[in-house]
Amino acid sequence: MDALNALAPYRRLTIKIGSALLVDRQGKLRAAWLADLASDIAALKAGGCEVVIVSSGAIALGRSLLGLSVVALTLEQSQAAASAGQIALSQAWAEALGRHDIVTGQILITPNITEERRYYLNARTTIATLLGLGAVPIINENDSVATAEIRYGDNDRLSARVATMIEADCLVLLSDVDGLYTAPPAQDPAARHLPVVKQITPAIEAMAGGAASHLSRGGMTTKVEAGKIATQAGTAMIIAKGTENHPLRALAEGKRHTLFHPAHSRAQARKRWIM
């Protein structure tokens, strides 16, 4: 096995793509970037890996489509933006992966789906069936119906729920940061990058405090929260910077990232869950 290739150990990946990667500051889709990412995904699939995408970007695309220029959207405005933007987002994914003869399926999730057993089992079966048919499920939160109290609000934690639901070996969070630092690097020049986190301790959680980027809702805090959900269920997590072209190929070539080790094997995690 190629020691450099961060993705080599995994057969089923959930990959979360942040809004700031897919949509530029003018609210336009970064189509060339998406085309390169799609070829990375096609290469992973050709190597026998199953891929589930959790894609943000609906609100960011929809606000420009609807001409909503205010800085802070009201809940109603962001729900309308998500509704318009989700169509553009799924079309972009279908086209980008379609060029590699990969079919996409869209699934929009609300928290009850990951928390209520019947919905959970149903969503899981649909995703497994799509994977079995060689398709790539594209998942987002159903922002246009989720209410303020009943929503994830950030796709970091949503993607961790999805990864554990489908028993992915690894969750990859692609955003504009290349991993976890001992302190927020923008504020502390002495901050050190951590290549590996064996266990999410209170000290690790304390390192995560820090601001989100211009479009994303999460920040390092929601990423470490996602790490807790994933690693407790036996899923590894990688945080990597995705802003440059071919971010998955870069990970396979040894680009800097932070790897969070699973806390248990997935079999142990399942036993604990049943008990």
| Binding region for ligand GLU (CB under 6 A) | 19, 56-60, 82, 140-141, 143, 154-155, 216-218
CB of 36 vs ligand GLU, minimal distance in Å: 21
CB of 56 vs ligand GLU, minimal distance in Å: 4
The smaller minimum CB distance to ligand GLU, of residues 155 and 235, is found at 155
Taking alpha carbons only, the member of 57, 67, 48 closest to residue 8 is 48
The smaller minimum CB distance to ligand GLU, of residues 58 and 135, is found at 58
The smaller minimum CB distance to ligand GLU, of residues 56 and 64, is found at 56
Beta bridge partners of 259: 196, 238
C-alpha–C-alpha distance, residues 191 and 195, integer Å: 13
The smaller minimum CB distance to ligand GLU, of residues 56 and 114, is found at 56
CB of 78 vs ligand GLU, minimal distance in Å: 8
**Two tokens at 71?**
């800085």
CB of 30 vs ligand GLU, minimal distance in Å: 14
The secondary structure of 52-102 as a DSSP string is: EEEE--HHHHHHHHTT---SSPPHHHHHHHHHHHHHHHHHHHHHHHHTTT-
HSE-up (13 A, CA, CB side) for residue 219? 15
Q: Residues 6 or more apart from 3 whose CB is under 8 A from it?
A: none
CB of 18 vs ligand GLU, minimal distance in Å: 6
CB of 117 vs ligand GLU, minimal distance in Å: 24
- Contact assessment for residue 173 and residue 159, using Cβ atoms and an 8 Å cutoff: yes
The smaller minimum CB distance to ligand GLU, of residues 59 and 269, is found at 59
The smaller minimum CB distance to ligand GLU, of residues 218 and 227, is found at 218
Length of the chain measured in residues: 275
